[in-house]
Amino acid sequence: MRLLRTDKLEMVEFLGQDIPPYAILSHTWGTEEVTFQDIQQGAAQSRRGYGKLAGACNVAMQDGFEFIWIDTCCIDKTSSAELSEAINSMFNWYRNTEVCYALLSDVDAQEDAFALFSNFRESRWFTRGWTLQELIAPGVVYFYDAGWEQIGSRDTLLTPIVEITGINSDCFTAGDLSQFSAAQIMSWAANRNTTRIEDMAYCLLGLFDINMPLLYGEGDRAFARLQEEILRQSEDDTLFFHEEPSLLATSPRWFSGRNNVCRSNSPDVHSRNLYITRSRIVLSFALIRVSRAQFDRECLETVFPWPAGQATCYFIALLNCRDQTGSFPVLILSEQSSGLFEKAGHVSVLIASLAPRLRRGLAVQRVSVLRSSAPTSGKGSWDWGMGNKSVRSITREVIGGRP
């Protein structure tokens, strides 16, 4: 880990566990940030971002810190190996810091941060992908405005922070991310952005305790790889409960509104024993086969309309998760051939309970599910009566098999 001295522009590299106490900066990047090469070549003061660096060093020095870590200059980004190691280590670096200074350059400390339309609530800092882990990981976070006047701490500003981010307050008080489902964590990132597509996955690595190589240029494949690793480590079914037609989502934005979906240990759902390929995922699902006759008899058409294609049956796949009301999410699958399924439609279905007649037909089956589904219009697809409109957070309930 490379740290910057707070009293002079000098880098010091530390190996292993021999790392001194340090402060850390969280910020949004601007133009002409000071880089590692600028420090090495003595050109830091000529860069427009030098004032930010000097201000952070000054605050850290006043707080008694000899060292500070700043992402713009403490990583040699010309080295792909160093950049990959840094991004995979970054969550731990923020977690192990003594204090994190979050610089909100578009906020005035004199303003009431609790006000409904305050600049604090509208700050760009809350919209960036990388700042999510920088908000969550440290034990102590202080917010500053552009003039380095303190706005408040994460603790004193907890109410507006929870309202802005949708992050459960327990995440900050308990500090244990393992209690949250993958869908919950993804929902916290749903309204955030990164400059590069791949970084929308890479900025979440630490939140899921995942390490994986960085491959800039792979686009959405980075987010797919992240989900694959999460499934291999946790078999978290909440990753399947999103609003995209494919089995795995292409972005956290598809998990918007999933902050109340938790993992569960249902006796109906056995160990997944996952096998993942580029085209499909092989796993075990608790399935209920629903024929057209059952569909009509149980009044399921009030929950999801029968598709316009020629299929005579569909399958309800129970996911091993619940929402906070106790209802459980399901997938609707269509069978393409023996044992080969695909997700039918892109509207998530939330069911409060299943009629006994349906539950008697439940059977755990090892199936192969295509990762990409057919378009949501045409033969064999779900016709939700929405035309070409984007369908986002639509849920339905079946209580006791009746609407």
**Phi-psi domain of 400 (left: phi exceeds 0; alpha: psi -120 through 50; beta: other):** left
d(C-alpha 328, C-alpha 319), whole Å: 7
What pLDDT was estimated at residue 170?
92
Q: Which of 218-222, 286-290, 344-348 has the lowest mean pLDDT?
A: 344-348
Looking at residue 360, what is its pLDDT?
75
Higher-confidence residue: 329 or 360?
Answer: 329
Dist. CA 289–CA 155, nearest whole Å: 50
Residue 251: CB atoms within 10 A of its CB come to 17
Helix, coil or strand: residue 50: helix
Domain boundaries, the chain: 2-175, 263-370
The predicted structure's pLDDT at residue 276? 93
CA 99 to chain centre: 24
DSSP 287: E
Q: Specify the pTM.
A: 0.88
Question: Considering only 119-123, 195-199, 320-324, 347-351, which range has the smallest mean pLDDT?
Answer: 347-351
Q: How far is CA 110 from CA 26, 94, 136, 224, 236, in A?
A: 21, 27, 25, 43, 44
Q: Which residue has the tokens 């409904």?
A: 116
Q: What is the C-alpha to C-alpha distance for residues 7 and 218, in angstroms, rounded to an integer?
A: 41
Decide which of 1 and 324 is more confident.
1
Q: Does pLDDT of 375 surpass 90?
A: no
Average pLDDT over residues 229-256: 92
Q: What is the DSSP letter of 150?
A: E
In this model, does residue 392 exceed pLDDT 70? no
> In this predicted structure, what is the pLDDT of residue 362?
83
Minimum mean pLDDT range among 12-21, 86-95, 269-278, 342-351: 342-351
pLDDT of residue 50: 97
Give 106's pLDDT tier (boundaries 50, 70, 90).
very high
Distance CA 229, CA 214 (A): 14
